[in-house]
Amino acid sequence: MDMKNRKTVVFVDPLGRLAMNFYEILQKLDINIVNVVTVSDEIFKLHEHDLPENFFSTISNSDVIFESNAKIIQGYLNKMDLNIVGFLPITEPGVEAADELSSLFGLPCNHPDLILARRDKSEMKKAVKAAGIHCPDFKKCYSVADIDAFLAKNTFPVIVKPAKATASMNVFKCEDRKSVIDAFNVIKGSKDFVGNTVEFALLEEFMDGIEYIVDLFFNNDNPIVTDIWEYEKIQNQYADLLYYHAIQHSPDNPVFQTLIEYAIDVAKAIGMRVGPAHVEIKKDPQKGFNLIEIGARLPGARIPDVMREISDFDPYASMVNLLINQDSGLKDSVKLTKKCIIALFPNEKQGVIKEVKGLDEIKSLSSFFALHLKCQVGDNIAPTTDLVSNPFIAWFVNQDPKVLKQDVDKARSLFSIKVL
């Protein structure tokens, strides 16, 4: 079959394992794949080691398109004379380009006028506030004068971060003006994912309380709740907001009904119509639900793999069905057979790794599902400052919540890194 008649799906920024799972489904359906990489060379090299050998040649016969401008990408794809049925953002940086390309090619997509609101956190919160939904006060700060204007109306602590960051990179919780300015100086002038110079830092009102994740899947404007998670973060001398646990809850628990309603409202406010939305929300004891951010993509941290294992929801198949058939086939609710806890192991040591202990013992625990060790003996290791620099993550699933927690606690006592 020639490429003009064969259906094609375009992967946008396929920088992780999600791409291989999509590839396996599309291969069985005889769907052609083209890869587009919009991130900078620096970011690409940072993630390249996570990819299998010959990754791009395995999932596609065509050359990779390295370009961040959607209209230039459109020109390249038009010359290839393909029957494109969908654009799939594999990782967070690809969200903006995938949305814009879907709109340019006349394919089902989220609201095209709100593309930036699904990637830029300042535009995101602007859209949510415009819809009359409460979220933290914020300001785009280009200068110290902007910082002082924001601090004049807000109390400490405050959050300082890039508008297009992910994985908690360069996110600071600041307790005084000096630390705010220091964080601002780290962010302004740095490079974003596509290599552009960051022109401003985003300052936000700090929200206390529990942080939740509500994962939604929009099946032609119909939002379905697929999973809910509670984050536990810790603070140490190296970082303010380190991921420690993600604890799964049942979406059908009535206690989460108002949380779900808020998540759906904010997702609609940023123009979600089709596909997944990964909604991060804080429940402040005084101010109620407040949006932290939304990712218009499948969640990371192997959550789609977990859902495949412990529920009747296959995120990969649902997304492919939505692209190919304009209907995900997803039911109105998702049934869980087990629960999951994701445990992250921040490192506080610095030096050359001499020994990594506990992996085999962790694998023998009854709740063990998967692990990801991002370092090995002989590597230089530094203290963890964000999700990317976290050296070890483990996933645990079980029907019994008591056994699940016991296994997670046991894993923490077993794992250790020794350095020279």
Of the three residues 167, 184, 205, the one that is the final residue of a domain is 205
Q: Are residues 333 and 268 in the same domain?
A: yes
Instruction: Indicate whether 42 pLDDT > 90.
Output: no
Rounded to an integer, the average pLDDT of 134-158 is 97
Q: Are residues 83 and 169 in the same domain?
A: no
CATH number where 191 lies? 3.30.1490.20
Least confident of 48-57, 173-182, 355-364: 48-57
Task: Enumerate residues 6+ apart whose C-beta is below 8 A from 211.
Answer: 230, 231, 233, 280, 281, 282, 283, 292
Boundary-marking domain end, from 205, 223, 247: 205
Q: What is the pLDDT of residue 168?
A: 65
Measured distance CA(224)–CA(215) in Å, rounded? 9
- Structural domain includes residue 125: no
pLDDT band with cut points at 50, 70 and 90 for residue 3: low
Helices vs strands, H then E, count in the chain: 13, 19
Buried b (16+ CB within 10 A) or exposed e, 103-129: bbbeeebbbeebbbbbbbbbbbbbbbb
Q: Are residues 173 and 147 in the same domain?
A: yes
Pairing of strands 351-357, 32-37: unpaired
Mean pLDDT, residues 346-361: 97
Q: Are residues 192 and 320 in the same domain?
A: no
CATH number for the domain that contains residue 33: 3.40.50.20
Q: Are residues 101 and 147 in the same domain?
A: no
Give the model confidence (pLDDT) of 269-285 as tens digits.
Answer: 999 999 999 999 999 99
Which of 205, 232, 257 delimits the end of a domain? 205
Residue 231: name the closest of 204, 215, 208, 211 by CA: 211
Domain presence at residue 114: no
Does 346 sit behind a cis peptide bond, omega within 30 degrees of 0 on the bond before it?
no
Residue 197 lies in domain? 137-205
Helix (H) or strand (E) holding 158: strand 158-161
Q: Is residue 120 part of a domain?
A: no
pLDDT in tens, 228-284: 999 999 888 888 778 999 999 999 999 999 999 999 999 999 999 999 999 999 999
Q: How far apart are CA 47 and CA 354, in angstroms?
A: 24
Q: What is the mean pLDDT of residues 289-295?
A: 96
What is the number of structural domains in the chain? 3
Asked if the structure places residue 1 within a domain, the reply is no
Q: Are residues 83 and 193 in the same domain?
A: no
Tell whether 194 is covered by a domain: yes
Q: For the chain, give the mean pLDDT.
A: 93
CATH number of the domain residue 314 falls in: 3.30.470.20
The reply to whether 25 falls in a domain is yes
d(CA 162, CA 420): 35
Q: Is the pLDDT of residue 62 over 90?
A: no
Distance CA 50, CA 18 (A): 11
Distance between CA atoms of 206 and 173, rounded to whole angstroms? Answer: 8
Q: Exposed/middle/buried for 252, CB within 10 Å: 0-12, 13-18, 19+?
A: middle
Extract the tokens encoding 386: 């964000």
Q: CA triplet 224, 225, 230: central angle to 5 degrees?
A: 165
Residue 24 and residue 304: Cα distance in Å, rounded?
Answer: 14
| Cα dihedral 393/267/272/121 (nearest 10) | -70
Do 218 and 185 share a domain, yes or no?
Answer: no
Q: Please tell me whether residues 189 and 225 are part of one structural domain.
A: no
177 bridge partner residues: none
130 lies in some domain: no
Mean pLDDT confidence for 159-186: 90
The answer to whether position 117 is within a domain reads: no
**Same domain, yes or no: 391 and 312:** yes
User: Region 176-192: what's the mean pLDDT?
Assistant: 95
Q: Whole-angstrom Cα distance, residue 74 to residue 101?
A: 7
Shared-domain flag, residues 400 and 320: yes
Q: Which helix (H) or strand (E) holds 339?
A: strand 339-344
Co-location of 229 and 177 in the same domain: no
Angle separating helix axes 303-310 and 315-325, nearest 10 degrees: 100
- The residue count of the chain comes to 420
Question: Is the same domain home to 221 and 178?
Answer: no
Q: What pLDDT is recorded for position 2?
A: 60
Alpha-carbon distance 269 to 3, whole Å? Answer: 38
